[in-house]
Amino acid sequence: MRRGIWHRAANLVVICGELACGLMILAGCALAQGAKEPPYVDPGPPGGPPSDATVLLDRKDPSLDAWQPRDGWEIDGAVLRAPRDGERLVSRVAFGDVQLHVEFRALDGSATHAPVWLHGRYEVPGSGAGKVVKPGRDDTAPPADAVALFDGTTLSEWIHPDGRPAQWQLVDGVLRCRPGSGNIITKTQFGSVQLHVEFATPYMPRARGQGRGNSGVYVQGRYEIQVLDSYKNRTYFTGQCAAIYGQYPPLVNACRPPRQWQTYDILFTAPECDDRGNVRAQGRMTVFHNGVLVHDDVALRGPTGGALDHNVCQAGPLMLQDHGNLVQFRNIWLRHLDNGTVALAPRDPGQWQSYDIVFRAPRVGADGRVLKRGRITVLHNGVLIRDRVPVGPQVGERLEKSTGPVALAAGPFEYRNIWIRAIERN
Ligand code: MG
């Protein structure tokens, strides 16, 4: 009798547990569906600044207002010139987790690049092992080690998933979806990759929601980064432009209006698998939409709807989706990330260079000890050179502050167009 009561009580606990679990999953789904609408951020011109950024050095009308006074640093026309020798220039404002864009040029051959410090102490790019890669002529052009998937001249890289030739159109150097002809995939297959894609959605004022400018960029043919005209066009947040479809809404909506060219810069880490094909670590993705960070190292929950296959431990192609709309693409390239690391991707003296940096500050507990290390991702002239590199003190060590200023190096350097934007804690 007694045992029966306990048995029933135990069952009740299990049922309650399952109910709570179900509710949690539902709540999780609601969260995944994006309870909060991603705020709109005007990405600005290529290179920014986006509308939510703090401008540290204006691209047209620079001043020293955002910086602490230092001898020798001066504005000369549209640039900030550093003193050859002297102190670093330090921002007045301190920041936590940020996306940072810096443009600089070396004035002579004595330096290939200008170091920058986050929180006044974490040097970017710092020293890193690996090769030196020649970047493209601008930050969207393919670097020397890239594989061109579409350069405006030929569809030779593309086929229908069933092996037939691709039916999409090549018009004036642009790849245009031919509605009804099906998705297209590349012959090139890849694992971990840096991927650049440009697209333009058509002007469809009468269409709504998912019906307006729909296509998709499927990484490995499995993970769709949604293409949609989400400029003043609402839909569910995990289905809007730059969402990882059905899994993650973008952090912000950085869409340009239809017919304007937009960019995706995607950093994809393939799932880690054991010899028997079991996933040991999920795939991960970081995405910039028009230069604005929209996903920061998110864990993929598996293939999205419409995936080519579910063989997540194998290489896969790039797939572009025919969703019935006249979406256009151009300038598509990738860099295999399994070929070793890159130390730097510098341009010649006198040429403008850029860093695009994602920085996560170390997490510090109430006792002043580090709970989670900081990490840093850096693109140098559009080339990934630091991929989520841990920085700062080790877990358990003491750290006074998890915010700090940005600092620029003195030396043979000029600077322009520097901006920073806070990113949500993850
Ligand atoms: Mg789509």
Homologous superfamily of 54-138+341-422: Exo-inulinase; domain 1 (2.60.120.560)
Q: In the beta sheet, which residues pair with residue 285?
A: 268, 298
Q: Are the CB atoms for 390 and 402 separated by under 8 Å?
A: no
Full-model pTM: 0.91
Ligand 1 geometric centre to CA of 211 (Å): 10
Ligand 1 geometric centre to CA of 398 (Å): 47
Ligand 1 geometric centre to CA of 245 (Å): 8
Question: In the prediction, which pLDDT does 10 show?
Answer: 43
Nearest to 211 by CA among 324, 89, 50, 44: 324
Query: Same topology for domains 54-138+341-422 and 147-336, yes or no?
Result: yes
Instruction: Characterize the bridge pairing of strands 131-132 and 342-344.
Output: parallel
Backbone torsion region of residue 209, taken as left when φ is above 0, otherwise alpha when ψ lies between -120 and 50, otherwise beta: left
The span from the CA of 114 to the CA of 410, in Å, is 8
Question: In the prediction, which pLDDT does 22 show?
Answer: 36
Ligand 1 geometric centre to CA of 228 (Å): 7
Tell me the three state secondary structure of residue 153: coil
Using alpha carbons only, give the angle 284, 123, 348 rounded to the nearest 5 degrees. Answer: 90
Ligand 1 geometric centre to CA of 423 (Å): 26
Ligand 1 geometric centre to CA of 322 (Å): 8
Question: In the prediction, which pLDDT does 20 show?
Answer: 43
Ligand 1 geometric centre to CA of 189 (Å): 21
Tokens of 53: 């950024």
Q: Are the CB atoms for 383 and 181 separated by under 8 Å?
A: no
Ligand 1 geometric centre to CA of 223 (Å): 11
Helix (H) or strand (E) holding 15: helix 2-32
**Helix, strand, coil content of the chain in percent (nearest 5):** 10, 40, 55
Ligand 1 geometric centre to CA of 247 (Å): 13
Question: In the prediction, which pLDDT does 35 show?
Answer: 67
Tokens of 95: 């920041």
Ligand 1 geometric centre to CA of 323 (Å): 6
Ligand 1 geometric centre to CA of 265 (Å): 17
Residues of the chain with pLDDT under 70: 1-35, 425-426
Q: What is the CATH number of domain 147-336?
A: 2.60.120.560
Tell me the three state secondary structure of residue 186: strand
Ordered by start, the domain boundaries in the chain are 54-138+341-422, 147-336
Ligand 1 geometric centre to CA of 133 (Å): 33
Question: In the prediction, which pLDDT does 36 show?
Answer: 85
Ligand 1 geometric centre to CA of 141 (Å): 25
In DSSP notation, 348-373 reads PTTS-EEEEEEEEPPEE-TTSBEEE-
Ligand 1 geometric centre to CA of 314 (Å): 23
Q: In the beta sheet, which residues pair with residue 374?
A: 391
